[in-house]
Amino acid sequence: MPANVSEVLVQPSDLERSARALGVLDEKGTIPRVPFTRQEAEGILALVPKQAALRALDFAANQTTATSGKLARYRMIHFATHGLVNDQDPELTGLVLSLVGERGQSLDGFLRLGQIYNLRLPVELVVLSGCNTGLGKDIRGEGLIGLARGFMYAGAARVVVSLWEVNDRATAELMVHFYKGILKDGLRPAAALRAAQVTMWRQKQWRSPYYWAAFTLQGEWK
């Protein structure tokens, strides 16, 4: 579960081009932290037996892990990180993973849409809990080209994505409720997502649909 990508200097690359085009960079020219992604990942991992989960945080949340083939061994894959969806240039769409190695060396941490299409992920569920991960370019005769389609092409039966910029803290809580519904309550992903959203709506702090309604499930709904 790649998560908690730290604030890093963006290299002049496809990642920088995409981040600048989308206005993701802050005033220092860096991709900002998503602080509650660690809480999100840890909360989800607490629901899974250690031997049944791959814990890929910080330096381990890298492109090597994502493309190694290890992820295909698991039922569900969760990415808690920035998703960059460039509808003007789909080749610049991708996920931001670790850009720095354990020894401080620079890494190519941009998992591009083209690479996602070439993955082999015959999994039940992929969750992309970043902002705008369900958007994309609508091409006539092809449909919506974006991250969700990339993961389904790679073999995922279902993909959970967001339709607008989401609140980091609220998303962390929503996702823990979502996985609890699947792993503890035995709900199917579509029912678990709805139950998690209802749980959020019942809390005064998160009552506004802004905090929970962005997430939708695409693919097999049963």
Q: How far apart are CA 63 and CA 56, in angstroms?
A: 11
Q: Burial, 128: exposed, middle or buried (Cβ in 10 Å; 0-12, 13-18, 19+)?
A: buried
pLDDT by residue, tens only, the chain of 222 residues = 444 444 444 444 888 889 888 888 887 778 888 889 999 999 999 999 989 999 999 999 999 999 999 999 999 999 999 999 998 888 899 999 998 888 889 889 999 999 999 999 999 999 999 999 999 887 776 667 899 999 999 999 999 999 999 999 999 999 999 999 999 999 999 999 999 999 999 999 999 999 999 999 999 987
Tokens 């890929």 found at: 56
Tokens at residue 175, please?
């996702």
